[in-house]
A and B are shown apart, each in its own frame.
Chain A
Amino acid sequence: SQQGEEDPQALSIQEGENATMNCSYKTSINNLQWYRQNSGRGLVHLILIRSNEREKHSGRLRVTLDTSKKSSSLLITASRAADTASYFCATVAGGYQKVTFGIGTKLQVIP
């Protein structure tokens, strides 16, 4: 079963605009990670935020985590056509660090 629910399911923006994707989850977590996937190929790890962190930056990416609301957001600033991909949040929980993915947000950046 999918733990996370990304919102929106699809997003289309112009190049240069910011893209925001949200993720909600149901259980306590150790950390939350965001991944990117191009055209149904392998996933690429973007950023990890631990349960005791509230915000993290990496280049044009900004991730926030609100454990009280069980939600996270991924912001991509100054988007580029090459950012077009599906983005997934994944929660990591439990003793053996089970990773559970959401259903993803499909981002299209129009040049």
Chain B
Amino acid sequence: ETGVTQSPTHLIKTRGQQVTLRCSSQSGHNTVSWYQQALGQGPQFIFQYYREEENGRGNFPPRFSGLQFPNYSSELNVNALELDDSALYLCASSSRDRASYEQYFGPGTRLTVT
């Protein structure tokens, strides 16, 4: 157990809808990163938040947005869902103050878009 939790575990949405996924970071961590993992692929970096500000973004459109709260928990919001958004969404918390930048992953939220 890493101490990182995600909710919900599974989610089924319809194309065009909006979804919010949640992540609670490990205690003492101030950075959260979100990843999308399609079936049979490695995780793809969506974005990272450090002390409530976006601090880096991968190759994802603006309809993917996020928030980080003062307690360092985080949300991933996806608007106008598309079928290709079906994937496992992983969040990872870390402490940017540590040079090693080891990340602790949550169990993921599996999103299915129909």
Q: Count residues on chain A whose CB falls below 8 Å from chain B CBs.
A: 27
A-B pairs under 8 A by CB, number? 68
Q: Are A97 and B106 in contact (CB under 8 A)?
A: no
Contact with A along B40-77 (1 / 0, CB 8 A): 01111100101000011001000000000000000000
Total number of B residues with any Cβ neighbor in A under 8 Å: 30
Instruction: Check: B103 CB closer than 8 A to any chain A CB.
Output: yes
| A82 interfacial by beta-carbon distance below 8 Å | no
Residues of chain B contacted by A70 (CB below 8 angstroms)? none
Return the chain A residue nearest B106 by Cβ.
Answer: A42
Among A40, A88, A97, point to the contact of B42 (Cβ < 8 A). A88
The answer, yes or no, to whether A25 is at the interface (CB within 8 Å) is no
Q: Given A44-B105, A96-B48, A101 and B100 touching (CB < 8 A)?
A: no
Residues of A within 8 A of B (CB): 1-2, 4, 30-31, 33, 35, 40-45, 48, 50, 88, 92, 94, 96-104
The 7 closest A-B pairs by CB, nearest first: A101-B42, A42-B105, A42-B107, A96-B56, A43-B105, A97-B101, A101-B43
